[in-house]
Structure 1
Amino acid sequence: MKHIADGTILNNGITMPWFGLGTYKAEGEEVAKAVTTALELGYRSIDTAAVYGNEEEVGRSIAASGVARDELFVTTKVWNDDQGFDTTLSAFETSSRKLGLDVIDLYLIHWPGQSKYKETWRALERLYAEGRVRAIGVSNFQIHHLQELMKESTIVPAVNQVELHPRFIQKELHAFCSEHQIQIEAWAPLMKGRLQENELLQSIAKKHGKTVAQVILRWEMQQGIVIIPKSVTSSRIKENSEIFDFELSAEELGSISGLDAGERIGSDPDKLLF
């Protein structure tokens, strides 16, 4: 049975926790308190991004936590407006300063866009070679984006962070990433609470004495997906982490996967052009 601090081995040999805290749309004292609570509960992975506007608060909470730096895994992302070689290097320095960290564990390209992501990736490769980041990856990349990137790059992305939940399981993308040793990580793993009333999930949750959210998170983790549920509520942060004391059967996993309807709640990467 996995533990909250256990992780998956990325394609460059470093360990990334299976479970972490997402901080999208959480700012100020709210996000600072959420990160503090999560670290106290045993979370060791925190996910942020330049565009979230909360890197300073995240960094301060990490510094005040007393948790050893080598026990933590911190992810941030370069925003669309900063894509390009030189601008990405500059954006990284800003994120590093705000977080108060000389080395970032995982640095991601936030969205593929139309044209600059290859230049941006060259900058990430430079940062990796210089030891400023422990791993580099992408977010919201489709199969064709990954294929284009890998044609001209020397490093295969370690992670692809994408929208993934029972209504949008990304089966083909997941298979492609597994084939190329790219770790899939789910954002919006709970579909922003829109599955709470689903009868199948309620039935499975009742059987295990768990909540619908816990069942969804367990379903993802058992499929080898890294998860970063976002919450700023202490009780929910605790609830989300309590998924390491039960297992779903193969039949239950299959029935949850059967909820897939290709239903996005976020932007389509092929339509978000910049």
Structure 2
Amino acid sequence: MYTNLPKLSSLNEASNLVNLDRYPLDRLSSDRGKVLIADCQRQLDDTGCCLLPEFLNSEALELFKKESEKLSVHAHYSNMLANVYFSEDDESLPKEHPKRFFFNRTSGFVRADSFPTDSLILQLYNWPAFAPFIQACLKEEKLYKYADPLSYIAFNVIKPGQEFPWHFDNNHVSVTVITQAPEKGGIFEYCHNIRSSHDENHDGVMKVLKGDRTPVTSLNLRPGDLQIFKGRYSLHRVTKVEGSIPRYTAVFSYTKDPQMYSKVYRSLQLYGKALPTHYQLDKTDMRTDGLED
């Protein structure tokens, strides 16, 4: 499927991917490592989002860009109407319910099973120092890589004229690396903790969907930046991309529930595919928080 993927001189050396002088992931127990963790924890506590500018070093970023071009042609585009929960319409609910408010979702995703084994993006996700760093930032005793074999890692493509409308994540934490930014637009926006594990806050969500900007924070992420984001409780979107350059993003997913999968409807919408396990687990309640999704 893939040929001539770019390669680093030695993938065993983390310095070939990450700016370790600035972000010492390989030395988290050192004084500088502890300062890094404390700063990430503070950002997450304050805003639900941690931003690490220039996380990738310059050599790795150029190689990630080349890989992104090769990956992008394998993106699935659904061009479907979607609500913030990626669920079907429920006519038993009032028309002013967010479950009945649909956007045209036009961006594309490359599934995890489409990544080549020598992918640099996959190498970063599987780097032994990476997941413990994310776990430490989140102050979680246990954190699991997302079990879903189609979306534990993904690659988002937003072409000019496309956008990724307001939605919630079904996994607890997403870690993203921007590999290419558009000329204009493609801004990441979110509403920090607009819902909780015990309160969907439908009224607050609906206000945002109808244009209320009060709880909205905007971030203009740049290529090479790493973002740790708690998307389970924070409504978020990427605004329409303008100009001629697509927006490319690698997405790494983690969860507190070791067996969590996407629901069938969501998997079909985003990735154009669902496995027998998706259908099997859809019959049971996988969500420990009881949220819509």
* TM class, shorter-length: under 0.3
Higher relative contact order (CA 8 A, sep 6+): 2
- Counting helix residues as a fraction of each chain, which structure ranks higher? 1
TM-score by length of 1: 0.27
